[in-house]
Amino acid sequence: DAKTTQPTSMDCAEGRAANLPCNHSTISGNEYVYWYRQIHSQGPQYIIHGLKNNETNEMASLIITEDRKSSTLILPHATLRDTAVYYCIVQYNDYKLSFGAGTTVTVRA
């Protein structure tokens, strides 16, 4: 069962930063926060994950609050190709990913 809460949808202007929130108030101390996205009709794509420190890679940044009860995925310069469903998942080890409904992000020109 999904342990996260995300907004159903959000719009973002092309070229601007997209900030995607995720609440995970019941996260355990050893659980990681993962973000995946799924572009229409494709397989989900791994974006980034973290435990308690902020993380950055070539795709995005992940900001985790100090109490670890919420996080924000930041796409620094959204493009039309970033239009997708974004999933926030918390888990320990890769036994299984529990996908919720995710956030449908629409990037508009």
53 binds other proteins (CB under 8 A): no
- Given a contact cutoff of 8 angstroms between Cβ atoms, the answer to whether 6 and 101 are in contact is yes
**From candidates 4, 18, 34, 90, binder to other proteins by CB under 8 A:** 34
Give min distance, CB of 46 to other proteins, in A: 4
Give the nearest distance from C-beta 15 to other proteins in angstroms. 28
End-to-end Cα distance, the chain:
36
CB of 95 to other proteins, least distance (A): 5
For residue 59, state whether it binds other proteins (rule: CB under 8 A).
Answer: no
Cβ 3 vs Cβ 53: under 8 Å: no
- Show the site string, 8-27: x = touches other proteins by CB under 8 A, - = not: --------------------
CB-wise, 1 or 109, nearer to other proteins?
1
Contact status: 44 vs other proteins (CB under 8 A): yes
Which residues touch 51 (CB under 8 Å, ≥6 apart)?
A: 32, 33, 64
Question: What backbone torsions phi and psi does residue 16 show, to the nearest 5 degrees?
Answer: -95, 165
Contact 63, 70 (CB under 8 A): no
